């Protein structure tokens, strides 16, 4: 294995995240029924948690940070720019609930090395090391120029990989359980709150210990896209979940780490992340 190291030595910059607002008298109850984490843990304005939506078979289709704004308003901060898709998915479940689901086009999410400067925003923990500041309206901050911003976003993406944070794309939606994607490390799902779509599969996997695959950090040579198969001895054993511009990927693979790994366009080498795949 090769050690993985990243450095995010950049100034403040906005991240390309969508924000969706869920508001109304039934907002908390609605989210509690539909999302995989326990919304009751968000007790006051500014509290946040990783959460998402699952299929009935326990496969992840949306992943986001949920932020409580006040008694009747929540913001879903979507790192994969799928705000419109999340709105559509939630609206299909509304029935007679008294709430509204809408985009927040003026909201912005920034990385700020000096969090104390963000007095008009809400500070959220991203991975235990990095923090974000979320603004309901555009802040009085000057973004970097296009080249510096692109470099900062690439560094952020690499930091996500090395922290084991997946970024969902169409190729890997409805493919993996939360455990396969290491979302237990993000405390992104609840085993105690009661029923929600996919809850039975999530609980069974946890209590029976049936997760045989997990998230792995790999270096690669060649060209790799999300969803690409990874082979061991010409047999498919996993697939790429997230990739970056510097030849690193996150992949879901067997926990025993078979070697060597390749596909027709690339060869892969295990890296040593700061987290465990199991």
3-state secondary structure of 198: coil
Residue 90 scores a pLDDT above 80: yes
Distant-in-sequence contacts of 87-90, Cβ < 8 A, 24+ apart:
87/20, 89/53, 89/61, 89/62, 90/20, 90/22, 90/34, 90/53
- 11-146 matches 170-272 in fold: no
State the Cα–Cα distance between residues 188 and 148, nearest whole angstrom: 32
Q: What is the mean pLDDT of residues 84-113?
A: 92
Residue 235 has phi, psi (to 5 degrees) of -120, 135
Task: With CA atoms as reference, report the closest residue to 68 among 96, 95, 113, 37.
Answer: 37
Task: With CA atoms as reference, report the closest residue to 181 among 275, 96, 264, 260.
Answer: 275
**Radius of gyration over alpha carbons of the chain, in Å?**
19
**Any idea what DSSP says for residue 140?**
S
Sign for the CA dihedral angle at 158, 266, 81, 167 comes to: negative
Percent of the chain scoring above 70 in pLDDT:
93
The CA-CA-CA angle for residues 214, 273, 83, to 5°, reads: 65
4 pLDDT band (50/70/90 cuts)?
very low
Which tokens sit at 135?
Answer: 């603004």
1 pLDDT band (50/70/90 cuts)?
very low
The domain spans of the chain are 11-146, 170-272
3-state secondary structure of 20: strand
Name the β-bridge partners of 220: 268
> Spelled out in words, what is the top-level CATH class assigned to the domain 170-272?
mainly beta
Kindly report the CATH number that applies to the domain delimited by 11-146.
Answer: 3.30.70.1400
Contact 51, 66 (CB under 8 A): yes
pLDDT in tens, 127-155: 888 889 999 998 888 888 999 888 888 88
């Amino acid at each position: 294995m090769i050690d993985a190291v990243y450095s995010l030595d950049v100034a403040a910059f906005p991240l390309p995240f969508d924000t969706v607002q869920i508001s109304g008298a039934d907002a908390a109850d609605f989210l509690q029924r539909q999302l995989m984490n326990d919304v009751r843990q968000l007790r006051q304005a500014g509290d946040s948690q990783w959460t998402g939506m699952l299929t009935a078979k326990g496969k992840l289709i949306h992943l986001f940070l949920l932020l409580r704004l006040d008694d009747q308003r929540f913001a879903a901060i979507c790192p994969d720019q799928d705000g419109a898709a999340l709105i559509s998915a939630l609206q299909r479940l509304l029935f007679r609930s008294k709430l509204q689901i809408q985009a927040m086009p003026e909201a912005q999410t920034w990385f700020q090395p000096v969090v104390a400067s963000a007095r008009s925003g809400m500070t959220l923990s991203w991975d235990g090391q990095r923090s974000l500041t979320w603004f309901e309206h555009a802040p009085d901050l000057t973004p970097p120029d296009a080249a510096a911003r692109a470099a900062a976003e690439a560094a952020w993406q690499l930091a996500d990989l090395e922290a084991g944070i997946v970024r969902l794309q169409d190729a890997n939606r409805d493919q993996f359980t939360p455990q396969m994607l290491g979302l237990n490390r993000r405390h992104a799902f609840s085993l105690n709150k009661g029923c929600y779509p996919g809850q039975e599969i999530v609980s069974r996997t946890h209590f029976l210990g049936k997760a045989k695959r997990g998230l792995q950090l790999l270096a690669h040579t060649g060209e790799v896209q999300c969803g690409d198969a990874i082979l061991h001895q010409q047999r498919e054993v996993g697939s790429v979940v997230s990739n970056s511009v510097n030849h690193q990927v996150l992949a879901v693979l067997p926990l025993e780490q078979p070697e060597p790994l390749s596909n027709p366009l690339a060869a892969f080498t295990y890296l040593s992340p700061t987290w465990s795949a199991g």
